[in-house]
């Protein structure tokens, strides 16, 4: 026997073209999208997310204007897919049901409605409509380390009641350790209907991407997010090619070809990186302090402009208990901190 | 000498929830408004009980419970703090009796009103129904207008961050209405050619005070000194009715990208709602401010309200 999980079957969900938009500052070209999506499709990845990093309607001063609109990206990728389905992310408060309808019309199969892990009740409208439109509908609870196990169970059940047929526990900060994953996913699995799927989205800030994903599978998750070469916010997502290799060894069926996904990662994704996706001190700080992954580049830019180290900014954002979407508070915090430093220097 | 009782314009409030109660407390202090009726639908509601404790007449029969008393009690202005769904009926029935309506719901039957930007215009036009946009709109549209009165704004984007405790079930069930209505207000009243609105709900404890960020992209290079002056002047105007409206940082002028960013904090007065709920306070304060401006015209004899049939 290869492992205790031998014989389990999971759906790998690719993040390269959505979470991977964060380290690309949402500037992926249509040619890059086409090449990567086609490679993933040929490697057997069953589900590929394509959107602005902050989801449908994320195009903004606050999160960054993308090189192309969601419509352009989706309508470029979807017709090329031979077997893979395409998903889109939607954060209520940023995107609306109008974006959802647009995505459906362009052939998006799966919609993932994302809220902070305590605010599921803002998703009723969007989950309800997606289900009514016959879409594969996922509730996506972000920054899941910021809620208790009981709290997450309650929020997951709300989304299930609104019509989600799959629930995700999302470690947006890459903060969770395998024991955290175990406690949360087992409790949520237990509380959901048996037919409701369970998913896990990890970040690699503490190098726990693979370990946490395996723990999630052990606790009954059957959808796992990963990105080729880990291209994603912070130190990236769970690296897909590594996860596929580990699953192969353990006898967990993914349907993804290891050599092909390696080649996508190595030949297509690594060359398009603007910088190596690795656990540098700022990404490590995200994971250590539990800060939202996509704040990383904003903090690094604020360091350049205002002279406050990114690590200090990130720690301050953690102290302020910021949630996903509060990118505006990074420049604000940096200015306030820079002013405090100057007045401290002046009084010395 | 006999003490003169100043004449005040009599008002009714519909919806005895948190917003209605907070508004009632503000109206009780007004030199020109006198709240006389609170309208609810549940006889056992705490809100109606509170209103009675304030010495206000109440009905639990909804709008129809108020209509027979409008004329006798001289009600001239009504505030609707119920829901968009109910508002059309309330407005039609009260307008028909010559009562002017201030709409705090997202129904937006009447034109948007953001007091420091366009209230005077509405009084001049004798509008019978004005809409208070959204909390995020009241907090941010004055800043967009402060930039657009200096130079053309091709894009205005606002991010409103509110504490989880201050967002009620109605807003949560239809959060798209917030983003759409606020974006429309950023364009129509703020003066941006294109508007976008984002709302973030933060559950931190203790609850965070409302934060608002305004990003404007100007057509030409931003005129830093004039924008700075205009923004500070506009903040002064808002502080007249929301003293906790405060500039935290900015205006940040990013000359290369033609970006102007303004970082605000909005603390409430803490009448009935807690001070962190600046988002709710700015709605009730703006509604009260709007009513006062209309009331001053009514009392001066320069505005007389006529019945309107839909």
The ipTM, to two decimals, is 0.96
Please name the member of A96, A119, A329 whose beta carbon is closest to the beta carbon of B179.
A96
Read off the pLDDT of residues B84-94 as tens digits, 9 standing for 90 and up.
Answer: 889 999 999 99
pLDDT for the residue numbered B5: 58
Query: What pLDDT score does B125 carry?
Result: 86
pLDDT at A316 over 60: yes
pLDDT of A32 strictly over 50? yes
Cβ(A258)–Cβ(A244) below 8 Å: yes
What 3-state class would DSSP assign to B108? Answer: coil
Residues A267-274, mean pLDDT to the nearest whole number: 98
Per-residue pLDDT, B2: 45
Annotated active-site residue B135? The verdict is: yes
pLDDT tens digits for A232-258? 999 999 999 999 999 999 999 999 999
Out of B173, B179, B261, closest to residue A93 by CB: B179
Q: What is the mean pLDDT of residues A171-188?
A: 98
Residue of A119, A166, A123, A116 lying closest to A142 (CA atoms) = A116
The minimum CA-CA distance between A273 and chain B, rounded to whole Å, is: 24
| Stretch 98-157 of chain A: residues touching chain B, C-beta under 8 Å | 98, 116, 118-119, 121-122, 124-125, 146
Predicted pLDDT of residue A1: 85
Q: Do A331 and B261 touch (CB under 8 A)?
A: yes
Interface of B to A at Cβ within 8 Å reads: 155, 157, 159, 161, 164, 169, 172-176, 178-180, 196, 198-204, 208, 211, 213, 215, 217, 248-250, 252, 259, 261, 263
CB contact under 8 A, B248 and A336: yes
Q: Which positions in chain A touch B213 (Cβ < 8 Å)? A: 62, 328-329, 332
How many contacts (CB atoms, under 8 Å) link A and B? 94
The residue of chain B with its CA nearest to that of A54 is B198
Considering only the beta carbons, identify the residue of B157, B201, B259 that sits closest to A122: B201
Digit-by-digit pLDDT tens for chain B (310 residues) are: 444 557 899 999 999 999 999 999 999 999 999 999 999 999 999 999 999 999 999 999 999 999 999 999 999 999 999 988 899 999 999 999 999 999 999 888 999 999 999 999 988 888 999 999 999 999 999 999 999 999 999 999 999 999 999 998 888 998 999 999 999 999 999 999 999 999 999 999 999 999 999 999 999 999 999 999 999 999 999 999 999 999 999 999 999 999 999 999 999 999 999 999 999 999 999 999 999 999 999 998 888 888 887 5
Residue A162, CB-side half-sphere exposure with 13 Å CA sphere? 26
Task: Give residue-wise pLDDT tens across range A18-27.
Answer: 999 999 999 9
Q: B261: distance to nearest CA of chain A, Å?
A: 9
Q: What is the pTM of this model?
A: 0.95
**How many angstroms separate the Cα of A306 from the Cα of each of A27, A134, A233?**
24, 48, 22
Whole-number pLDDT of residue B301: 86
Rg (CA), chain A: 19
Residue A35 has pLDDT above 50, yes or no: yes
**B253: closest CA of chain A, how far (Å):** 12
Distance CA B68, CA B48 (A): 19
The pLDDT assigned to B310 comes to 58
Give me B69's structure tokens: 């008393």
User: DSSP for B6-22?
Assistant: PP-EEEEEE--SHHHHH
**A39: pLDDT strictly greater than 90:** yes
**What's the farthest any 2 CA atoms get from each other in chain B?**
67
> What gap in Å lies between CA B18 and CA B166, rounded to an integer?
10
Is the backbone of residue B61 left (phi > 0), alpha (psi -120 to 50) or beta?
alpha
- Mutate: best of B203, B210, B276, partner A, most A CBs <10 A: B203
| Smallest Cα distance from B134 to chain A, Å | 14
Kindly report the average pLDDT of chain A as a whole number: 97
Which tens digit of pLDDT belongs to each residue from A323-337? 999 999 999 999 999
Distance from C-alpha of A217 to C-alpha of A223, rounded to nearest angstrom: 8
pLDDT tens-digit series, residues A191-227: 999 999 999 999 999 999 999 999 999 999 999 999 9
Q: Look at residue A224 in the predicted model and tell me its pLDDT.
A: 98
Q: What is the mean pLDDT of residues A164-171?
A: 98
B221 CB-near residues (< 8 Å, 6+ apart)? B255, B258
Beta strands in chain B (DSSP E): 9-14, 33-39, 57-59, 75-80, 100-103, 129-131, 153-163, 195-202, 210-218, 245-254, 259-266
The confidence score (pLDDT) of residue B308 equals: 83
CA distance B310 to B300: 28
User: Which residues on chain A are in Cβ contact (under 8 Å) with B175?
Assistant: 92-93, 122, 125
The pLDDT value recorded for residue A279 is: 98
- Prior bond of B52 cis (ω within 30°): no
**What's the whole-number mean pLDDT along residues A60-74?**
98
Percent of chain A with pLDDT over 90: 98
Task: Answer whether A280 touches B (CB < 8 Å).
Answer: no
How far apart, in Å, are the Cα atoms of B299 and each of B11, B12, B116? 14, 17, 21
At A344, list the tokens.
């401290």
| Alpha-carbon span A60 to A54, nearest angstrom | 10
């Amino acid at each position: 026997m290869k492992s205790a999980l031998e014989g389990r079957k999971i759906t790998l969900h690719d993040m390269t073209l959505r979470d991977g938009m964060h380290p690309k500052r949402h500037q992926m070209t249509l040619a890059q999208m086409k090449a990567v999506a086609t490679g993933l499709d040929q490697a057997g990845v069953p589900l590929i997310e394509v959107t602005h990093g902050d989801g449908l309607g994320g195009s903004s001063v606050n999160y960054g204007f993308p090189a192309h609109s969601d419509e352009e990206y989706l309508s470029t990728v979807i017709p090329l897919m031979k077997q893979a389905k395409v998903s889109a992310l939607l954060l209520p408060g940023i995107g609306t049901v109008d974006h959802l309808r647009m995505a459906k019309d362009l052939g998006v199969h799966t919609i993932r409605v994302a809220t902070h892990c305590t605010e599921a009740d803002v998703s009723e409208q969007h989950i309800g409509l997606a289900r009514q439109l016959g879409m594969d509908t996922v509730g996506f609870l972000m920054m899941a380390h910021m809620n208790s196990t009981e709290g997450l169970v309650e929020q997951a059940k709300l989304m299930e009641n609104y019509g989600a047929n799959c629930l995700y526990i999302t470690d947006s900060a890459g903060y969770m350790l395998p024991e955290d994953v175990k406690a949360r996913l087992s409790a949520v699995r237990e509380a959901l209907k048996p037919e409701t799927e369970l998913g896990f989205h990890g970040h690699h800030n503490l190098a726990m991407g693979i370990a946490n994903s395996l723990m999630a599978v052990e606790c009954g998750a059957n959808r796992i997010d990963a990105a080729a070469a880990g291209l994603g916010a912070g130190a990236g997502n769970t690296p897909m090619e590594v996860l596929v290799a580990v699953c192969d060894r353990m006898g967990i069926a993914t349907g993804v070809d290891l050599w092909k996904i390696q080649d996508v990662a190595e030949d297509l994704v690594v060359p398009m990186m603007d910088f190596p996706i690795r656990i540098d001190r700022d990404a490590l700080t995200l994971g250590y302090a539990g800060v939202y992954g996509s704040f990383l580049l904003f903090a690094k830019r604020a360091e350049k402009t205002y002279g406050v180290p990114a690590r200090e900014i990130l720690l301050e954002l953690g102290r302020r208990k910021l949630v996903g979407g509060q990118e505006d508070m990074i420049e604000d915090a940096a200015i306030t901190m820079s002013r405090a430093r100057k007045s401290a220097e002046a009084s010395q | 000498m006999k003490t003169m009782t100043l004449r005040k314009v009599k008002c009714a409030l519909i919806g005895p929830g948190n917003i209605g109660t907070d508004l009632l407390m503000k109206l009780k202090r007004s030199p020109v408004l006198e709240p006389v009726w609170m309208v609810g639908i549940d006889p056992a509601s705490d809100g109606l009980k509170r209103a009675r404790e304030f010495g206000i007449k109440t009905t639990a029969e909804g709008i129809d419970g108020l209509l027979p008393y409008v004329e006798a009690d001289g009600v001239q202005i009504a505030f609707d703090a119920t829901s968009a769904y109910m508002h059309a009926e309330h407005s039609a029935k009260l307008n028909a009796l010559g009562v002017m309506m201030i709409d705090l719901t997202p129904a937006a039957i009447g034109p948007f009103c953001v007091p420091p930007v366009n209230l005077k215009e509405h009084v001049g036009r004798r509008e019978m129904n004005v809409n208070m946009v959204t909390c995020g709109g009241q907090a941010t549209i004055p800043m967009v207008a402060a930039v657009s009165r200096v130079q053309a704004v091709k894009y205005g984007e606002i991010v409103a961050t509110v504490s989880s405790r201050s967002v009620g079930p109605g807003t949560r069930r239809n959060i798209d209405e917030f983003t759409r209505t606020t974006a429309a207000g950023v364009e129509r009243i703020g003066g941006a050619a294109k508007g976008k609105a984002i709302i973030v709900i933060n559950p931190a404890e203790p609850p965070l005070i409302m934060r608002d960020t305004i990003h404007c992209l100007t057509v030409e290079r931003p005129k830093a000194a004039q924008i700075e002056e205009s923004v500070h002047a506009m903040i002064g105007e808002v502080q007249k009715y929301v003293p906790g409206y405060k500039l935290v940082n900015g205006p940040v002028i990013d000359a290369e990208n033609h970006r102007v960013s303004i970082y605000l904090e909005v603390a409430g007065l803490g009448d009935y709602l807690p001070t962190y709920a600046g988002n709710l306070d700015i709605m009730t304060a703006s509604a009260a401010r709007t009513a006062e401006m209309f009331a001053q015209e009514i009392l001066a004899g320069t505005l007389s309200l006529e019945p309107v049939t839909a």
